[in-house]
Amino acid sequence: MAVYVDDAFVHADWGRWTGGGHLQADSTKELHAFADALGLRREWFQSRPGRPDRDHYDLHRAGRDAAILAGAIPETAREGVVRRRALRPQRDRARG
């Protein structure tokens, strides 16, 4: 199991989110535990029913930096897309 943070908001001006990214994990349970440790509110969790590969918290620059210091694996936004797409066949087989 792992927790990841991408650089989705590092490039370009995203207002308060500039420099941040998406916090994701291999499981929702692990994502919430990590987010709790960072002091994130559960109401900030973003989920799409049936698409657990999209579950995330948005982080601003300081939050992204804190997540990396706490052990989140930094990745580019593109690497995150590739990682999540690789999980889809597993999820679809599990539904079977």
User: What percent of the chain has a predicted confidence (pLDDT) above 70?
Assistant: 92
pLDDT band at 32 (very low <50, low <70, confident <90, very high): very high
Neighbour tally for 21: CB within 10 Å? 30
- Give the mean pLDDT of the chain: 89
Average of pLDDT values for 38-57?
A: 91
Amino acid at 31: L
In the numeric block, which tokens belong to residue 82? 């590739």
Pairing of strands 57-59, 21-25: antiparallel
- The two tokens of residue 47 are 């989920």
> Which phi and psi (to 5°) does residue 40 adopt?
-80, 145
